[in-house]
Amino acid sequence: MAKIIAIASQKGGVGKTTTAVNLAAAVARMKRRVLLVDIDPQGNATSGFGIDKNMLMSTIYRVLIEGRSVSDAIVSSEHRVDVLPANVELAGAEVELAGMERRETRLRDALTSVSNNYDYIFIDCPPSLGFLTLNALAAAHAVLIPIQCEFYALEGVAQLMNTISLVQESVNPSLIVQGVVMTMYDGRTRIATQVVDEVKNVFGAALYETLIPRNVRLSEAPSFGQPITSYDITSRGAESYIELAREVMKREEG
C-alpha cells in the first residue's frame, strides 16, 4: 500500500506546488513508484509536469464528482511520476461536494483502487481549508506543511493545525503531521534565520533539517513543464529537494 502524503497549507504561494512536484520527482529518482495527485483547480502541479490542462481525457474532477475511474484519469509524465491531473473544472467541486454523500472521503475511496501500484502518493492541495483539502487530509496518512521564510510565516498555522485535529477526530484518526519544511530560505537575511528558530520552537523535531533555498531555477522550471531534477539537476534547488526526499523517505521507511 502506498504512503499517502498531503502537502497542505491554506496560505497561498508558500511553495506547496513547488514542493509537491519536486519532492515527487526526487523520490521517483530513488526508484520509488510515485503518483502525484493534483487537487487544486489551478492545476499548477499538472502543468508543472508538462501535462496540457486543456487536453485531458479525464481529470480528478470526474473522479471525485462523477465517480469515474482513477486509472483512466492518470497520466504518465516523462519524469517517472504519474499524475492524477486537475484543471479549472475542479473549481466547481468545492460547492458540489458540499451537497454530496461521503463528501470528505471521496478521494480516499477513489485512491484505494490504485494504492497498490505506488510506493508514494503525494497530494498537492489548494490554498484553502475547504472540501478539496479535507478530502486530501482524509485520504492521507501524513501531512507535510510548507512554511515560507517570511515575516508572517506562522500566521494561519493554528487554523491549519485545528483543521488537522478535526480530521483526526472524525474521518482520519491516524493522520500525522509528517513534517514541516521551510521554503524560499535566504540565509543572508536575519528574518529568515529568525523565522526558522521560531518554527523550530513550535514544531520541534517535526521541522526538516533541509531548508529549501530561494532559487531562481526552481521558479523557472514550471514554465518548461519540468521538475527541477529534469530542468537543472546541478542547481541548489534540485540538491535541496533531493535532500528533502531523503529525509521524507527516512521518516517513512526508517
Name the residues that contact Mg ion, by CB under 5 A.
16-17, 44
Interacting residues of 101 by C-beta distance below 8 A, sequence separation 6+: none
Number of residues that bind ligand ATP (CB under 6 A): 19
Q: What is the end-to-end Cα distance of the chain in Å, rounded?
A: 16
| Interface with ligand ATP, residue 15, by CB under 6 A | yes
Residues 116-145 that bind ligand ATP (CB under 6 A): 127
Smaller CB separation from ligand ATP, 41 or 106: 41
Contact 238, 228 (CB under 8 A): yes
Q: Binding residue for ligand ATP (CB under 6 A) from 44, 58, 229, 230? A: 44
Q: Measured from the CB atom, is 44 or 226 closer to Mg ion?
A: 44
With vertex at residue 197, the alpha carbon angle to CA 179 and CA 23, rounded to the nearest 5 degrees, is 30
Residue 224, all three cell numbers: 518548461
Cell 535541496 identifies what position? 240
Q: Does 14 bind ligand ATP (CB under 6 A)?
A: yes
Q: Which is nearer to Mg ion, 38 or 119 (CB)?
A: 38
Segment 165-204, which members bind ligand ATP (CB under 6 A)?
183-184
Q: Is 197 exposed, middle or buried (0-12, 13-18, 19+ CB in 10 A)?
A: exposed
Summarize as ranges the residues that interact with ligand ATP (CB under 6 A).
12-18, 40, 42, 44, 127, 183-184, 212, 214-215, 218-219, 222
